[in-house]
A and B are shown apart, each in its own frame.
Chain A
């Protein structure tokens, strides 16, 4: 089975600074998707960014970008110009391209933004 590992249970960042959240995964597949989800204290999970494994170019969404290293099975999230609203639990997730909507999630990183 696929596994997703987030080794940083908690992170903190000063407002307006940059922070990087780490994620590694284990799979024998070559075609898959990777995601970062954000879960604010209200608990509604929100998609932050996604990456298709066949694309070499790293995905970017405004202040959020990823560093996708397929050979190393690493998928980190960089948040630039951190804002107070970025404070949340962040989950890294894996989805095979072939097995439907079965996502595998990491255990999450709790991000605190310091004013």
Chain B
């Protein structure tokens, strides 16, 4: 089985722009979670999607949003980018929300200048 894939792997944006990141879960996995990883804050939970519905949301401003499609692929969007949004964005998939294991993708490195 192919693992979790994320596109693009690297992205450079300018402050004020918006960005969309994509995540394709492992085949058969229906739960997708997103995390922001920074050197200072570590990994912080952004949100979780299951069956095209957001189930959980972390403590991030409304500029961070996401969605999930019927094929379980997920996208996250960040609007009005700030310098502090520079981070590695990780996607993880699980078969179900009740599954206790998550499988992570390689991440998208976002740099905001």
Bitwise, B1-14 to A at CB < 8 A (1) or not (0) is 00100000000000
Smallest CB–CB gap between A6 and chain B, Å? 9
- CB of A85 closer than 8 Å to a CB of B: no
Smallest CB–CB gap between A95 and chain B, Å? 6
Majority DSSP secondary structure for residues of B touching A: strand
Contact A102 B56 (CB under 8 A): yes
- CB of B70 closer than 8 Å to a CB of A: no
Bitwise, B33-47 to A at CB < 8 A (1) or not (0) is 101000001111100
Question: How many of chain A's residues have a CB under 8 angstroms from any CB in B?
Answer: 23
B70-101 interface (Cβ within 8 A of A): 88, 90, 92, 94, 97-101
Contact A50 B106 (CB under 8 A): no
- CB of A91 closer than 8 Å to a CB of B: yes
Contact of A101 among B3, B41, B44, B56 (CB under 8 A): B56
- CB of B102 closer than 8 Å to a CB of A: yes
19 contacts between A and B (CB under 8 A): A33-B100, A42-B106, A45-B92, A45-B104, A47-B101, A52-B100, A91-B42, A99-B56, A100-B48, A100-B98, A101-B48, A101-B55, A102-B33, A102-B56, A102-B58, A103-B43, A103-B102, A107-B41, A107-B42
The 7 A-B pairs at the shortest CB distance, nearest first, are namely: A45-B104, A105-B43, A107-B42, A100-B97, A102-B56, A33-B100, A101-B33
In addition to A44-B105, A103-B35, A105-B44, 18 A-B residue pairs with Cβ atoms within 8 Å of each other are: A42-B106, A44-B3, A50-B100, A50-B101, A91-B43, A95-B100, A100-B48, A100-B50, A100-B98, A101-B97, A101-B102, A102-B33, A102-B45, A102-B56, A102-B58, A103-B92, A104-B45, A108-B42
